[in-house]
Amino acid sequence: MRKRDGLTMHGHGSTLKICEGCIVLQRYLKDVYVFFCRKYPGKGAIVVASYPIPSWSNTRTALRPGNKEARQCKCMGEEIWLDSRTVYIGHKEPPPGAEAYIPQRYPDNRIVSSKYTSWNFIPKNLFEQFRRIANFYFLAIFLVQLIIDTPTSPVTSGLPLFFVITVTAIKQGYEDWLRHKADCSINECPVDVVQQGKVVRTQSHKLRVGDIVMVREDETFPCDLILLSSSRHDGTCYVTTASLDGESSHKTYYAVQDTVAFRTEREVDSLHATIECEQPQPDLYKFVGRINIYKDREEPLARPLGAENLLLRGATLKNTQHIYAVAVYTGMETKMALNYQSKSQKRSAVEKYN
């Protein structure tokens, strides 16, 4: 860790912390962008302005108290931490001299909600069952009757215990088999991906971060996506998130104005851009990032991205013929998967107390 100009820097490719309530996304010393955020009730900090800083020498000047944008910052000195990832749209390398191409490995789009596998079912299930006080007590009684000569037969305590353990294991095994079956149907769901200017149908679990996906009306988003364009001329789309937060009303999401014009498969496939965004986190209403659009040999156009640009897995497209979007979070890194409750065994209040 090192400090410079009053900022705390945590290595290359990470984000900086500014105690003045601003978020800084930094990749290289000559490419620094400041995102000013404002505090809104119930929504947290939302980006309201952004602009690049040519070099570190201008950082303190840009953040001086008299700066117009700095006066708009209402984060009350809150320290905001953010880690970042780079997504190459369509898996295209940036132009020569733009930035170093550093391919990153991300998980596939496979969803796993099951608890057991074929090889760990017996030991894991037995361990969880004998964590119960009643089962452990009867197991101890059964072992004592086997070791010590007692007037009662070990069968009187062993047989009921064996019956309870067996029935419970069969029940939990069947429920987990249903989870495996549901996961398989979700992971094999057909998805349209744009490849080489054409729409190719593939399975959901084969999606990768950076793939350009085409979603049609009434279809569910297969992963967390950044909206690039839609069939609507203004680049908007309508989405229902009833399966995520219970709200059945239609919500409006927006594409960046610089990508709205890419309306066909060939045009979207010709898009040369990268996305820098935060690492996966479970908050459904929070997202911070930026998109860098490369045109010829000019400097890249940097545009901020927020929660209004992010289409969440599990939501459904409504009243829009189709959209084009790029995958940024897949599989168990999607916000829906991060909000899964742990599949722990149910226990009574008495057992929890003990």
The pLDDT value recorded for residue 103 is: 72
In a domain, 192, yes or no: no
pLDDT recorded at residue 352: 59
Q: Is the pLDDT of residue 251 over 80?
A: yes
- Same-domain status, 133 and 78: no
Does 216 map to a domain? no
pLDDT at 172 over 50: yes
Residue reference for tokens 């979007």? 325
Q: Which domain holds residue 54?
A: 1-82
pLDDT confidence of residue 346: 62
- Same domain, yes or no: 67 and 125: no
Q: Which residue among 56, 82, 108 closes a domain? A: 82
Which residue, 207, 244, 187, is CA-closest to 325?
207
> Is 23 in contact with 32 (CB distance < 8 Å)?
no
212 pairs with which residues across the strands? 194, 326
Final residue in a domain of this structure, among 82, 111, 137: 82
- Between residues 68 and 41, which one has the greater pLDDT? 41
pLDDT at res. 148 = 87
In a domain, 78, yes or no: yes
Mean pLDDT of 232-240: 93
Going edge to edge, which strands form the sheet with 198-203?
198-203, 190-195, 212-216, 322-329, 224-230, 310-311
State pTM to two decimals. Answer: 0.70
pLDDT of residue 347: 63
In whole angstroms, what is the distance from residue 302 CA to residue 291 CA? 6
Query: Which of 51, 82, 113 is the last residue before a domain boundary?
Result: 82
Average pLDDT, the chain: 77
pLDDT over threshold 60, residue 300 = yes
19 has pLDDT over 60: no
* One-character DSSP codes across 162-210: HHHHHHHHHHHHHHHHHHHHHHHHHHT-EEEEEETTEEEEEEGGG--TT
pLDDT of residue 351: 59
Nearest-angstrom CA–CA distance, 79 and 21: 6
Give the pLDDT mean for 163-177: 95
Q: Is 202 left (phi over 0), alpha (psi -120 to 50) or beta?
A: beta
Give tens-digit pLDDT for 63-122: 333 333 333 333 433 334 346 888 999 988 877 666 667 777 899 999 998 999 989 999
- What's the domain count of the chain? 2
Q: Report yes or no on 159 lying in a domain.
A: yes
Identify the pLDDT of residue 250.
93
Residues 78 and 127 in one domain: no
